[in-house]
Amino acid sequence: MNRFYILAASFILVLATYSCKTTEKEKQAIFDLRLSAEEIEGGIMTPEILWKFRRMGSICPSPDGKTVLFTLTEYNLADEARRTNIFSIPSDGGEIRQLTDKGGNSPSWIMDGDKIAFASQGALWTMNPDGSGKKKVKNLENFETYSISPQDNMIYFTRRVKLDQTPNEKHGMPLADMRIIDDLMFRHWNYWHDYSYSHVFIAFFDGESVTGIKDIMEGQKYESPTAPWFDEGEISWSPDGKKIAYTSKKLRGKEEAISTNTDIYLYDTDTESTINISEGNEGFDHYPVFSPDGSKLAWQSQEEDGYEADLERLFIYDFSEQSISWPSEGWDYNIGNIRWSSDGGTIYFSSPYLGTAQIFNIDLSSGEINQVSSGKYDYSPVAVQGDQIITGIQSMSMPTEIAILSAASGDMNIISSVNGHISDHIKMGETEERYIKTSDGKDLQMWIIYPPDFDPSKQYPALLYCKGGPQGPLGQSWSYRWNYQMMAANGYIVVAPNRRGNSGFGSEWREQISGDYGGKNMQDYLDAIDYMAAEPYIDEERLGAVGASYGGYSVFYLAGIHEGRFKALISHCGMFNIESWYGSTEELWFPNKDIGGPYWEEPKPAGYKYSPHLYVDRWTAPIMIIVGEHDYRIPYTQSLEAFTAAQLKGVPSKLLFFHDETHFVTSPQNAVIWQREFFEWLDTYLK
């Protein structure tokens, strides 16, 4: 669960983009993203306005660093049509140019910047840097991710390969609708196993067509990129185009369900051989990146098998010495977005850091690590071009834009404004960083988001925001559902503590939560809301608590221990009965680590004493419960159990059940209903 907030947006984007087919609905839709006169006059965020924001996807600088490609996805709320197209902007700022108008995704520069490759309408295309001369590449359709080699003469791409027999095929019954299951991992996060596997293919590429397609994982019932996110960053070319590094978890069934042991595999295009270069490390190994001269390979590595929130370390494989080093040893923060400097002597990376996500570099000769970026921002992704860094930047008050940083000084310039049509008219609330002392004397950081036009002489209701995870960062993210500014615009002061378990405060802080779900992190929440409730501008009789995933669990648990603090609660997709959840979830490494193992073990793992259902006798505060039918991480029955308990207890309660949603609510009209019901519930009990 800890990857929920980090990867939700990218997962949704992957599902939405790679086929890139223009639907009839999209052709007929009128994408009017302008604010109405009433919305401008209102001047604050609404659910309808949130769906007028254009969402930035890929960010891809040209080889000379002078131009940046990016994608924008737009939604039409009236009929839920969606379109994604490719745009460009000079790296020193200036006019944005739209390069595609019939769909376009995953842009990449080829032929030394003379051409752009991109995915559209289920195929691969090329075009000139100004968007002219679009040509469909022959013989390549039905793919998910792709990358053209540095020499422009080969391509790798991924597609699903059916290797398992369906019950219909086995029994010759084409109208049957059922499954025969004899092993674990039969479903994952939001989807059922479809009898196929994501494989890496290579082929020759001449700029106009693809030939000689070969499956380099032929016959293997394993996947790359790995489930459930299928992140294209898990595969990369060597600079000479003769090797492909890819991530795969070559485990099946029960072993796959209880292990996080992925490895980095190296495929040689000349010999057609594959070796495992991370063999021996038992945790996650992923996101390989070759050095500019191809002599080394860097990647993110976790040590402990079964612990998906373990420290993300920088590992480097030296091909000449056939050895692995750990240059970031002693750095106690996660490493991601690894990028080499042009001379190969420095690696840049991003890291969750003290409630933000900053860019750092490490000098490989000395091991010295320096912070490059600054400010109340999350920076990601990261690209290094000479003496500048091209990156995405977002905050609690701003969705992703493009920023250019000086690699030497860290000076930053935001060069895009893709949502100026909204931000020019909408007031955002101020955000404030605070540190307080917890009950056991620890320093607790929290972010306070105030309503627009906040007046300290007045009193406001407040919401305790409970983050998912339980690990992972609470940084400067901009969400299209759990949007802090939306909550503030509705007149609520938002209190968002970086309680124990959150990333960005060192391993001890992050690791403390495992096995202690109802312990110190819950006291952190109570300490945070008690501190803020003492402020004269907060009405302590109008406090609420809201959260999703582990945050939803937190709300369920707080419902039994808050001793009257909260007058309204909202739990989205939370765990309610840990025993029944253990038997219905899929990534079993997670409860094995964080709860302590199966409930039938003797002695019974201590983590089960923190199951919220054990404290229902103390539930009194009105609670709204939200769930998606296709959530397999925390199956919807958990929310049904909680709602039934609340109803039988006579606690005011409401259930929002979305038939076609998952762990996330992503359909525009469903999401608007979600927001409207969210605030209707809170306003009923807190205003």
Average pLDDT over residues 408-416: 97
Choice among 416, 549, 554, 571 that is catalytic: 549
| 193 is an active site residue | no
Query: Which amino acid, residue 111?
Result: M
Question: C-alpha distances in angstroms, 684 versus 428, 495, 607, 623, 680?
Answer: 24, 20, 35, 11, 6
| 631 is an active site residue | yes
Average pLDDT over residues 204-222: 98
Please tell me the pTM assigned to this model.
Answer: 0.95
pLDDT at 3: 37
pLDDT > 80? residue 25: no
Choice among 10, 631, 639, 653 that is catalytic: 631
| 549 is an active site residue | yes
Torsion angle of C-alpha atoms 356, 633, 518, 282, degrees rounded to 10: -70
Q: How far apart are CA 126 and CA 290, in angstroms?
A: 25
pLDDT at 630: 98
pLDDT at 22: 55
pLDDT at 4: 32
Place 274 in a pLDDT band, splitting at 50, 70 and 90.
Answer: very high
Q: Among 3.30.70.940, 2.30.110.10, 3.40.50.1000, 3.40.50.1820, what is the CATH number of 427-686?
A: 3.40.50.1820
Q: What percent of the chain has pLDDT over 70?
A: 96
pLDDT at 30: 77
Listed residue (251, 249, 639, 621) closest to 464, CA to CA: 621
Average pLDDT over residues 305-315: 98
Q: Which residues of 259-297 are buried (b: 16+ CB within 10 A; e: fewer)?
A: bbbbbbbbbebeeeeeeebbeebbbbbbbbbbbeebebb
Q: How far apart are CA 266 and CA 216, in angstroms?
A: 11
CB neighbourhood size of 148 (10 A): 24
pLDDT at 5: 33
Listed residue (374, 376, 372) closest to 362, CA to CA: 372
Q: How far apart are CA 240 and CA 453, in angstroms?
A: 57
Q: How far apart are CA 16 and CA 381, in angstroms?
A: 19
What are the domain boundaries of the chain?
427-686
Q: Which tens digits make up the pLDDT trace of 362-399?
A: 999 999 999 999 999 999 999 999 999 999 999 999 99
pLDDT at 94: 94
Q: Could you tell me how far CA 342 lies from the centroid of its own chain?
A: 28
CB neighbourhood size of 341 (10 A): 18
Q: Residue 410 gets which letter from DSSP?
A: -
- The DSSP result for 232-256, as a single string, is GGGEEE-TTSSEEEEEE----HHHH
pLDDT at 29: 73
Average pLDDT over residues 321-329: 97
Average pLDDT over residues 111-123: 96
Q: How far apart are CA 282 and CA 306, in angstroms?
A: 9
CA gyration radius for the chain? 25
pLDDT at 6: 34
Q: Which tens digits make up the pLDDT trace of 557-581?
A: 999 999 999 999 999 999 999 999 9
pLDDT at 52: 97
pLDDT at 24: 59
Which residue has better confidence, 643 or 6? Answer: 643
pLDDT at 26: 62
Task: Please provide the average confidence, as pLDDT, over all residues in the chain.
Answer: 95
pLDDT > 80? residue 9: no
Task: Tell me which residue has tokens 């002061």.
Answer: 493
Strand order in the sheet with 115-120: 105-110, 115-120, 123-127, 135-141
pLDDT > 90? residue 156: yes
